[in-house]
Amino acid sequence: MVSKACIVGTYQKKLEVMAGAAPDLSLVVVVPPAWRDERGTTTLERVHTRGYQLEVQPIWFNGSFHLHLYPGLGRTIARVRPDLVHIDEEPYNLATYHANVIARRRGARTLWFSWQNLARGYPPPFSWIERYNLRHVDHAIAGSRTAADVWRTKGYAGPLNVIPQFGVDPEIFSPDLDRARRHDGVVHIAYVGRFVPEKGPDLLLQALARTAGAWQATFLGSGPEAPEIPRQAAALGIADRVTVRDWLPSTQMPEFYREIDVLVLPSRTRSNWTEQFGRVLIEAMACEVTVVGSGSGEIPHVIGEAGIVFSEDDASALSEALQDLIVSPERRRLLGRQGRERVLKHYTQQRVAEATLAVYREILASG
């Protein structure tokens, strides 16, 4: 497997589960030492590393989503001689093309993964890369139903499964059983994500300013709009009820979720972006936190009936949803329990690992 995402410690749990569930398969996972994006630099966390080989390799063009690649990958594939190479990257990325070409020349079968749920066109050379990877691959995994629809529309005709990239470990992301007993009467609301317009932190502030009752809000993340959050909160007269915090390590997120009552994901669809999944939703749901999300992209499919979905860019509708939850602790608890049940049914690392292994076995048995 080639995956920059697996530098995140909690994501590595899927790899441990896969290795433990399939002792007849040898799993080698290539990761970079770090990855740069709008959040800053995320360095490799070695948290769940039992049962498989985690191989750290240099990466070229670190921070370039479309252009990065692993210059030493060819040597690794020649040494390991894999039967299957799982490329945990979008089919229009250079890293996918590079790994796909090398692997197939060595006789390995290949698989790529995609979250892309907008039918976007790309200029050369990315359109050429995409065309090659759609035609020369043994299987594909889409992280959502909307992503699967995109690739069928764009002409991918091969085998395709819908499996989230990662699930959550329900023993790590677990509820605070004493939350109701220790509740201080203040409803703690949180936003977790990038501080950019399309993710809607400003919309949440507008909604909070219209919401009565005892509440406090935490905005956890980073991004170009970070300075605007306290300024907007002050302009709306709610500065004393809003806290802005920087990203936490992935291993500290379960404790953060246990400190809050409601998680809001107020994303807005744009011409070049829509919400691909909303991983924070399933993390919060596993901790029995009530979730509220907009109708953007995959959010309604992730939440299902286990939370509240409001119309995109509608601050009034979001405020009404929050108001209802503030005055209805029983509803918060009910939705929290339903959220965890939904995660246990669909989104655990165990279920994601089992589904991914089933794809591996299908590919390996096909020839």
Q: What is the 3-state secondary structure (H, E, C) of 47-68?
A: CCCCCCEEEECCCECCCCCCCC
Return the residue matching tokens 């049914």.
345
Evaluate whether residue 172 is within a structural domain: no
Regarding whether 223 and 154 lie in a shared domain, the answer is: no
Could you give the angle at which helices 201-209 and 315-327 cross, rounded to 10 degrees?
Answer: 60
Closest Cα to residue 335, out of 270, 298, 291? 291
Regarding whether 190 and 137 lie in a shared domain, the answer is: no
Regarding whether 360 and 326 lie in a shared domain, the answer is: no
Evaluate whether residue 216 is within a structural domain: yes
Does residue 13 surpass a pLDDT of 60?
yes
Q: Calculate what percentage of the chain has a pLDDT beyond 70.
A: 98
Q: Which two tokens stand for residue 92?
A: 């229009």
pLDDT at 181: 55
H or E stretch including 141?
A: strand 139-142
Report CA-CA distances (Å) from 133 to 272, 333, 339: 22, 46, 36
What's the mean pLDDT when you consider all of the chain?
Answer: 95
pLDDT digit string, tens, across residues 81-104? 999 999 999 999 999 999 999 999
* Mean pLDDT within 173-181: 78
Regarding whether 78 and 45 lie in a shared domain, the answer is: yes
Evaluate whether residue 65 is within a structural domain: yes
Closest Cα to residue 243, out of 293, 186, 303? 186
Q: Which two tokens stand for residue 365?
A: 């048995």
User: Of the given ranges (106-120, 182-196, 200-214, 276-290), which has the lowest mean pLDDT?
Assistant: 182-196
Regarding whether 259 and 280 lie in a shared domain, the answer is: yes
Regarding whether 355 and 337 lie in a shared domain, the answer is: no
Regarding whether 80 and 186 lie in a shared domain, the answer is: no
pLDDT at 182: 60
* Mean pLDDT within 116-134: 94
Q: What type of residue sits at position 285?
A: M
Regarding whether 105 and 157 lie in a shared domain, the answer is: yes
Evaluate whether residue 173 is within a structural domain: no
Asked if 327 and 109 touch (Cβ cutoff 8 Å), the reply is: no
pLDDT digit string, tens, across residues 288-344? 999 999 999 999 999 999 999 999 999 999 999 999 999 999 999 999 999 999 999
Evaluate whether residue 76 is within a structural domain: yes
Regarding whether 191 and 47 lie in a shared domain, the answer is: no
State the Cα–Cα distance between residues 187 and 329, nearest whole angstrom.
9
Regarding whether 153 and 57 lie in a shared domain, the answer is: yes
Q: How many domains does the chain have?
A: 2
* Mean pLDDT within 261-270: 97
Domain that includes residue 88, residue range: 4-167+348-365
pLDDT at 180: 60
pLDDT at 285: 98
Closest Cα to residue 283, out of 192, 204, 356, 350? 192
Evaluate whether residue 228 is within a structural domain: yes
pLDDT digit string, tens, across residues 140-158? 999 999 999 999 999 999 9
Asked if 235 and 206 touch (Cβ cutoff 8 Å), the reply is: no
pTM for this prediction: 0.86
Q: Is the bond preceding 125 in cis, omega lying within 30 degrees of 0? A: yes
State the Cα–Cα distance between residues 169 and 193, nearest whole angstrom.
20
pLDDT at 35: 97
CATH code for position 276: 3.40.50.2000
H or E stretch including 221?
A: strand 215-222
Q: Calculate what percentage of the chain has a pLDDT beyond 90.
A: 92
Asked if 264 and 281 touch (Cβ cutoff 8 Å), the reply is: no
Regarding whether 32 and 70 lie in a shared domain, the answer is: yes
DSSP 136: S
pLDDT at 183: 67
Q: What type of residue sits at position 65?
A: F
Query: Strand 262-265 relative to strand 242-245: parallel, antiparallel, unpaired?
Result: unpaired
H or E stretch including 15?
A: helix 12-21
Evaluate whether residue 174 is within a structural domain: no
Return the residue matching tokens 């499996």.
163
Does residue 237 surpass a pLDDT of 60?
yes
pLDDT at 283: 97
pLDDT at 179: 64
pLDDT digit string, tens, across residues 28-81? 999 999 999 877 899 999 999 999 999 999 999 999 999 999 999 999 999 999
State the Cα–Cα distance between residues 204 and 221, nearest whole angstrom.
14
Report CA-CA distances (Å) from 12 to 50, 113, 169: 9, 16, 10
Evaluate whether residue 130 is within a structural domain: yes
Regarding whether 214 and 295 lie in a shared domain, the answer is: yes
Asked if 258 and 176 touch (Cβ cutoff 8 Å), the reply is: yes
